[in-house]
């Protein structure tokens, strides 16, 4: 043992070895060290633990015992002679230049040989604990972090990121938000909203501006002042990003009733690539584009999702089969809108897709007279739009003229009727 030369693997600093042995200590070359670390991993010792790399130092047999007596934490040992002989034996069986298949075989045999030379003599005390969530900022390695820090906030449409931030607003998770823009004190804008105030179309547009500013310049990597910081106060969670760049500064903050990472996990569970609830809310909610529901109970995110899954999709699957489209397009969005209006009691004849609603949602037979009636409704709507001051008498005359036409001879009538009442 005393005459034996060893390589010892440890996480202790080299200075400790030198102080105890009173001489310079040299470590094994890095190329062979890497291969040994890989072999050691198969015996339960990590290459690096908490930033401390496993290093191999050359010592004598008596020095090894001295180190152990001084409580130096040695994890593995390798006999230098055994290692040298094993390497020589393996290398002698292979040429210096090898093709890919032969090289692969060589690496496998080398790894097995090194594994035979390694002896574990200690236990790694520096056991890594399961990482806990850092709530101080959004980490760029998480799903949410990758989504945010790889999104260009200059774009008006942010795709999935926009859908997520809209989702938490639709669901009522946003308590307040604010932002301040200051461009060299020339262009200055500040806005603040909280849940005690009414939600309007203007508020929603400001909220969209807010989360766009939150992600602005995020392609710089999400480091330093560009990171989106998180903090909790009295059960409320805020995310903020204040930065200054080239004379431009802004301070953005969004506060929610749940942690933003928990909200993102919830959003992913709800995510359906075919679903277009976000589009329905964006267009028809109280703060959306259109005011179709101004005289009715406002639509909600949950209602739209439930209607989509339990009513709309079964209709499409049953009536249109494999040719049916359950994803987003303008027609499907308007069909969903008309289902939601019909649920609130609006007459099918006043709906843009009234015949479709009567046939598939209300489950009623569509007659030829229904088609004629809806044509008259559409014509009357156009007349009132272009001539809002028309009298009832004039409108009655228009109806008389409309009724004089022999609709039974209209080929389009037959075509629509047969499409809604196919012959089996």
Q: Residue 235: is its pLDDT beyond 90?
A: no
For the beta carbon of residue 67, count every other beta carbon within 10 angstroms.
22
Q: Nearest-CA neighbor of 25 among 42, 39, 49, 8?
A: 8
Mean pLDDT in residue range 212-231: 61
pLDDT by residue (tens digit) across 286-325?
A: 888 888 998 999 999 999 999 999 999 999 888 877 666 7
Strand, helix or coil at 260? Answer: helix
Give strand pairing partners of 239: 230, 254
pLDDT by residue (tens digit) across 248-282?
A: 455 788 999 988 889 999 998 887 777 888 889 98
- Given this model, what pLDDT does residue 177 score? 92
Predicted confidence band of residue 29 (pLDDT cuts 50, 70, 90): confident
CA-to-CA distance for 377 and 66, rounded, in angstroms?
Answer: 101
Cβ pair 82, 117 in contact under 8 A: yes
Cβ pair 337, 280 in contact under 8 A: yes
pLDDT by residue (tens digit) across 371-410?
A: 999 999 999 989 988 998 999 899 999 888 888 887 766 7
CA-to-CA distance for 253 and 239, rounded, in angstroms?
Answer: 6
| pTM (global) more than 0.95 | no
Cβ pair 153, 211 in contact under 8 A: no
- Given this model, what pLDDT does residue 173 score? 93
Q: Residue 139: is its pLDDT beyond 80?
A: no
CA dihedral angle for residue 84, residue 88, residue 91, residue 96, rounded to 10 degrees: 100
pLDDT by residue (tens digit) across 30-86?
A: 888 888 888 888 887 877 766 678 888 888 888 888 888 888 888 888 888 888 898
pLDDT by residue (tens digit) across 341-376?
A: 999 999 999 999 999 999 999 999 999 999 999 999
Mean pLDDT in residue range 204-225: 68
Q: Where are the domains of the chain?
A: 5-120, 143-270, 272-352, 365-424
């Amino acid at each position: 043992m005393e005459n034996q030369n060893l390589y010892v693997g440890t996480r202790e600093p080299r200075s400790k070895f030198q102080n105890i042995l009173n001489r310079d200590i040299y470590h094994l070359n890095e190329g062979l060290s890497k291969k040994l670390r890989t072999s050691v991993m198969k015996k339960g010792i990590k290459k690096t633990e908490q930033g401390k790399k496993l290093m191999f130092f050359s010592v004598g047999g008596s020095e090894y015992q001295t180190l152990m007596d001084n409580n130096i934490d040695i994890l593995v040992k390798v006999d230098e002679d055994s290692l040298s002989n094993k390497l020589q034996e393996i290398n002698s069986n292979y040429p210096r230049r090898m093709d890919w298949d032969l090289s692969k075989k060589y690496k496998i045999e080398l790894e097995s040989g090194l594994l035979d030379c390694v002896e574990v003599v200690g236990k790694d005390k520096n056991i890594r604990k399961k990482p806990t969530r850092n709530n101080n900022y959004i980490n760029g390695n998480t799903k949410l972090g990758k989504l945010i820090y790889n999104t260009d906030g200059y774009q008006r449409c942010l795709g999935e990121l926009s859908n997520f931030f809209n989702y938490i607003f639709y669901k009522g998770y946003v308590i307040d938000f604010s932002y301040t823009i200051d461009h060299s004190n020339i262009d200055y804008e500040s806005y603040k909203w909280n849940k005690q105030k009414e939600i309007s179309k203007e508020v929603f547009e400001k909220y969209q501006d807010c989360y766009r500013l939150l992600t602005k310049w995020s392609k710089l990597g999400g480091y330093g002042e560009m990171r989106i910081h998180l903090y909790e106060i009295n059960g409320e969670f805020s995310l903020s990003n204040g930065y200054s760049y080239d004379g431009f500064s802004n301070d953005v903050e969004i506060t929610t009733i749940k942690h933003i990472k928990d909200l993102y996990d919830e959003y992913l569970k709800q995510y359906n690539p075919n679903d277009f609830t976000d589009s329905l809310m964006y267009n028809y909610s109280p703060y959306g584009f259109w005011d179709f529901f101004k005289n009715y109970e406002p639509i909600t995110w949950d209602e739209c999702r439930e209607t989509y899954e339990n009513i709309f999709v079964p209709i499409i699957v049953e009536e249109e089969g494999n040719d049916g489209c359950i994803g987003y397009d303008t027609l499907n969005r308007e069909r969903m809108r008309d289902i939601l209006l019909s649920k609130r009691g609006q007459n099918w004849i006043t709906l843009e897709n009234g015949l479709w609603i009567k046939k598939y949602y209300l489950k009623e037979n569509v007659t030829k007279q229904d088609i004629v009636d809806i044509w008259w409704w559409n014509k009357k709507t156009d007349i009132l739009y272009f001539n809002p001051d028309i009298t009832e008498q004039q409108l009655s005359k228009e109806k008389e003229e409309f009724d004089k036409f022999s609709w039974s001879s209209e080929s389009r009538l037959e075509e629509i009727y047969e499409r809604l009442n196919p012959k089996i």
